[in-house]
Structure 1
């Protein structure tokens, strides 16, 4: 019985993960789309130029 319960729990764990991976995303992004950058640009260049 313990082996049966362990297998059942393992299958439930794997199936819930698969459902989460392949389900539509539930992100709550604003309906206006991408927001513009409103910060201060860096004065130093990190690209080495």
Structure 2
């Protein structure tokens, strides 16, 4: 076997060994992303906003 072929073979073996680790990391991230949140809401559930809305709806604050 020549050196370039051996080098390619070593690189392919290294990539194949790294594949399960990469897949595990991606699967773990997807699991965290799509899992239910662990927010501590009251027993009555999420409550709607009941505050006062300002007259100026532009979102800019006056100096």
TM-score, scaled to structure 2: 0.41
Larger helix share, 1 or 2: 2
TM-score, scaled to structure 1: 0.46
Structure 1 or 2, whichever has the larger Rg, is 2
